[in-house]
Amino acid sequence: EDQVTQSPEALRLQEGESSSLNCSYTVSGLRGLFWYRQDPGKGPEFLFTLYSAGEEKEKERLKATLTKKESFLHITAPKPEDSATYLCAVISKAAGNKLTFGGGTRVLVKP
Amino acid sequence: DAMVIQNPRYQVTQFGKPVTLSCSQTLNHNVMYWYQQKSSQAPKLLFHYYDKDFNNEADTPDNFQSRRPNTSFCFLDIRSPGLGDAAMYLCATSRGGQGSHEQYFGPGTRLTVT
């Protein structure tokens, strides 16, 4: 059974204070790892897909990296508008079209 | 812009009164999903359609049904809502097959059961 664990559960940052979110996964044959951002009361917004170890993707202040066991979402010099819950999900070869989500990391960036 | 649309955004229903939530997409994706998300939890998959093929999750209650009359639309029917069914319901789509597996979510419908 695919498993995804995100840490920490919550993260409070000062504006400009860079940090990283962790997503550890156990899957049988990774097809893809996904990062989403979710604002309160809204649907998840797709950020990145990573397919293989060593791959990196960047978007504005966010950078996602992938190893064989975990992924990191680095937030560089965050702004208050980066406050959100960040969800990690995986899809495995055995899972067909189904994502397995982690529990999410709630990020609060204070000005 | 291509997108996933959910209506209504907020729905209030009475205990036991059937309710239908709708989802439409302009992405022309093969796969449509319905998730239930409760406060501070990850989305929980209820079922999905790959084209016309329906795939139910083993732990989805029989109270929840779905219809996909065409590629663009998908409906979630809750036959007899209980207080525990109050949640955010999310629709998502993906291309499916050998293509990319990213799922794109709609804005959600917040269901309140009184």
CATH number for position A17: 2.60.40.10
Q: Nearest-CA residue of chain B relative to A35?
A: B102
| Reported confidence tier of residue B99, pLDDT bands at 50, 70, 90 | low
What's the pLDDT band for B26 if we cut at 50, 70, 90?
Answer: very high
- CATH number, domain with residue B29: 2.60.40.10
d(CA A67, CA A51): 10
Taking CB atoms and an 8 Å cutoff, what residues of chain A touch B102?
32, 34, 46, 49
pLDDT tens, position by position, A54-107: 999 999 999 999 999 999 999 999 999 999 999 999 999 888 888 999 999 999
Please indicate, yes or no, if residue A111 is contained in any of the structural domains: no
Parallel, antiparallel, or unpaired: how do β-strands A62-66 and A70-75 relate? antiparallel
Please state the domain count of chain B: 1
**In degrees, to the nearest 5, what angle opens at C-alpha A47 toward C-alphas B26 and B109?**
50
When divided into structural domains, chain A yields a total of: 1
Q: Residue B98: pLDDT above 80? A: no
Quote the domain boundaries for residue A56. Answer: 3-104
User: Within 10 Å of residue B37's Cβ, how many Cβ atoms?
Assistant: 20
* Residue A90 domain flag: yes
Asked if B103's CB is within 8 angstroms of A104's CB, the reply is: no
Residue A109: inside a domain: no
B48 close contact with A: CB closer than 8 A: yes
pLDDT, tens digit (0-9, with 9 covering 90-100), for A13-29: 999 999 999 999 999 88
CA neighbor of B107 nearest in space, from B92, B86, B87, B85: B92
Range of the domain at B38: 4-113
Q: Look at residue A97 in the predicted model and tell me its pLDDT.
A: 80
